[in-house]
Structure 1
Amino acid sequence: MLSASKILVVDDEPRMCDSLKLLLNNSGYEEVQVSNNGHEAIKCLAKNAFDLVFLDIVLPDMDGFQVMDYINQQHPDTMVIIITGHVSMQTALRALRRGAYDYIKKPFEPEELLAKGKNAIKQKMLTCENRSINGKLDLSEKRYRYLIQNSPDIIYTLDNKGNFTFISDIVEYLTGFKAKQLIGKHYTTIIYEKDLEKANWFFNERRTDERVSHGELRIKVCNGSNRFELCEIKYLTMELKSTGMYDRPTTEDSKHLGTYGILRDITDRKRLEVQLQHAQRLESLGTLSGGIAHDFNNLLMAIQGNISLMLLDVDSSQPSHQKLKNIETYIQRGANLTKQLLGFAREGKYEVKPTDLNKVIKNQNRMFGYTQKQINIHTKYEENLWTVEVDQKQMEQVLLNLYINASQAMAVGGDLYVRTENFIIDEDYIKHYHARSGRYVRIYVTDTGIGMNKATQQRIFDPFFTTKEIGKGTGL
Structure 2
Amino acid sequence: MRAASKRNQRREINKIVGVYALFGSAWIYLSGYALIWLVSDRHIAEQIEVYKGLMFIMVTSALLYQLISRFAGRLAESVDRLEQSEARFQAIYHNVNDALFIHDATTGQLVDVNRTMCEMYGYTPEEARDLTVEELSLGEPPYTEADARHLLQQAAAGPPMTVRWRSKKKDGSLFWSEINLRRADIGGNDRIIVMVRDITARHEIEEALQQNEEILKVLMEEMPAGVGWADESGRIQYLNSYVSDWLGYVSDDHPTLEQLMERALPDPTYRDRVLAVWHDELAKTLESGVPVTPQEAKISCVDGSSKHIILNTRLVHHRILFTLTDITKWEAMQRELLKAQKLESLGVLAGGIAHDFNNILTGILGNLSFAELLLDPDHPAQGPVKNAEKASQRAAELAHQLLTFSKGGQPIKKVVPLGRLLQEALSLSLHGTKVQTRLELQDGLHAIEADEGQMNQAFSNVIINACQAMPGGGVLTVIAQNAPLPAGNDLGLAPGDYVKISFIDQGCGIPYEDQKLIFDPYYSTKPGGSGLGLASVHSIVIKHGGRVEVASKPGAGTTLTFYLPSVGEVVPEEEAPQPERPGKPGEGTVLVMDDEEAIRTLTRDMLQYLGYQVVTCADGEEAVRLYREAAQAGKPFAVAIMDLTIPAGMGGKEAAQQILAFDPAARLIVSSGYSNDPVMAEHADYGFCAAVIKPYRCDELQQALERVLSKP
Aligned residue-pair number: 375
Q: Offset at 1:331?
A: 0.6
CA distance in 1, matches of 2:400, 2:406: 10
2:181 maps to: 78
Taking a change above 3 Å as real, the CA distance of residues 411 and 144 of structure 1, as seen in their structure-2 partners, is same
Aligned-pair CA distance for 1:237? 1.4
Q: Report the Cα distance in structure 1 between the residues aligned to 2:135 and 2:422, rounded to whole angstroms.
A: 97
Query: How far, CA to CA, are the matches of 1:269 and 1:443 in structure 2?
Result: 23
Q: Cα offset for 1:345?
A: 1.2
Task: Look up the equivalent residue of 1:275 and give its one-letter code.
Answer: E
Deviation per CA, 1:49-78, whole angstroms, max 9, x where unpaired? 79xxxxxxxxxxxxx999923998999733
**Partners of 2:420 and 2:162 in 1: CA distance:** 94
Equivalent residues in 2 for 1:37-436, closer than 5 Å:
68-69=156-157, 77-83=180-186, 124-125=195-196, 128=197, 139-140=207-208, 142-150=210-218, 151=220, 152=223, 153-159=225-231, 163-164=234-235, 166-170=237-241, 171-177=243-249, 180-183=253-256, 185=258, 189=262, 190=264, 193=271, 195-206=274-285, 212-213=291-292, 215-218=294-297, 220-222=299-301, 225=302, 228-229=303-304, 232-233=305-306, 235-238=307-310, 240=312, 242-243=314-315, 245=317, 257=318, 259-260=320-321, 262-301=323-362, 303-304=364-365, 319-352=380-413, 367-368=428-429, 370-372=431-433, 374=434, 390-405=450-465, 407-408=467-468, 411-413=471-473
Aligned Cα root-mean-square deviation (Å): 6.0
Give the direction of change, closer, same or farther, for the CA distance of 1:47–1:347 in structure 2 (3 Å limit). closer
Contact map agreement 1:164 1:182 (CA 8 A) in 2: yes
Deviation at 1:340, TM superposition (A): 3.0
1:402, distance to aligned residue in structure 2 (A): 4.6
Shift of 1:280: 1.7
* 2:183 alignment partner AA: V
Is the alpha carbon distance of 1:335 and 1:472 closer, same or farther for their aligned partners in structure 2, counting shifts above 3 Å?
A: closer
Q: Which letter maps to 1:218?
A: A
In 2: Cα distance, 1:184 partner to 1:392 partner: 56
Q: 1:452 to 1:133 in 2, by over 3 A?
A: farther
SS in 1 for 2:351: helix
The 5-angstrom pairing of residues 441-456 of structure 1 reads 450=506
Structure 1 residue 335: Cα displacement: 1.2
What is residue 108 of structure 1 aligned with on the other side? none
| Per-residue deviation, 1:289 | 2.7
With structure 2 as the length reference, what TM-score do the two structures score?
A: 0.39
SS at match of 1:6: strand
CA offset at residue 283 of structure 1? 1.8
| Matches of 2:364 and 2:422, distance apart in 1 | 31
Question: What SS class does the counterpart of residue 196 from structure 1 fall into?
Answer: helix
Distance 2:410 2:154 in 1: 97
Structure 1, 403-412 or 465-474: larger mean CA deviation: 465-474
Q: 2:105·2:156 contact (CA, 8 Å) conserved in 1?
A: no
Q: In structure 1, what residue type is equivalent to 2:338?
A: Q
AA partner of residue 30 (structure 1): P
SS at match of 1:142: helix
Question: Which amino acid in structure 1 is aligned with residue 180 of structure 2?
Answer: D
Q: Is the 8 Å Cα contact of residues 229 and 239 (structure 2) preserved in structure 1?
A: no
Query: Does the aligned pair in 2 maintain the 1:167–1:183 contact within 8 Å?
Result: no
What residue is the counterpart of 1:6 in the other structure?
Answer: 101
Q: What does the per-residue CA deviation read over 1:145-194, in whole Å, with 9 as the maximum and x for residues that have no partner?
A: 32333212544445557x24533333313443457333464885556735
Structure 1: stretches of 5+ with no match in the other structure? 13-19, 35-42, 51-63, 87-94, 102-119, 246-256
* Distance (Å, rounded) in 1 between the aligned partners of 2:511 and 2:202: 55
Question: Which secondary structure state, in structure 1, belongs to the residue aligned with residue 410 of structure 2?
Answer: coil
Pair member with larger Rg: 2
CA 351–327 in structure 1, closer or farther in 2 if over 3 Å, else same: farther
Distance 2:260 2:187 in 1: 64
Separation in structure 2 between the aligned mates of residue 302 and residue 133 of structure 1, nearest angstrom: 92
CA 1:69/1:294 → structure 2, altered by over 3 Å: closer, same or farther? same
SS in 1 for 2:294: strand
Q: Distance in 2 between matches of 1:465 and 1:307?
A: 32
Seen in structure 2, the aligned counterparts of structure 1 residues 319 and 271 have a Cα distance that, compared at 3 Å, is same
1:308-340 CA-partner distances (Å, limit 9, x unpaired): 798799876564542233112211221132123
Contact persistence 2:310–2:327 (CA under 8 A) = yes
The equivalent residue for 1:114 is: none
Aligned AA (1:2): H
* 1:82 Cα deviation from its structure 2 partner: 0.8
CA distance in 1 between partners of 2:105 and 2:430 (Å): 114
For the residue of structure 2 that corresponds to 1:371, the secondary structure is coil
Aligned-partner Cα distance in 1 for 2:297–2:465? 36
Distance between the aligned counterparts of 1:367 and 1:148, measured in 2?
Answer: 61
Identity of aligned residues (%): 21
Change in 2 beyond 3 A, CA 1:243/1:323: same
1:470 and 2:526 matched: yes
* CA 205–299 in structure 1, closer or farther in 2 if over 3 Å, else same: farther
Structure 2 portions without partners, runs of 5+:
1-92, 119-123, 138-151, 164-178, 488-492, 535-712
Partner of 1:90: none
* Residues 102-158 of structure 1: CA deviation (Å, up to 9, x unaligned): xxxxxxxxxxxxxxxxxx77xx35xx46x7787567545533432333212544445
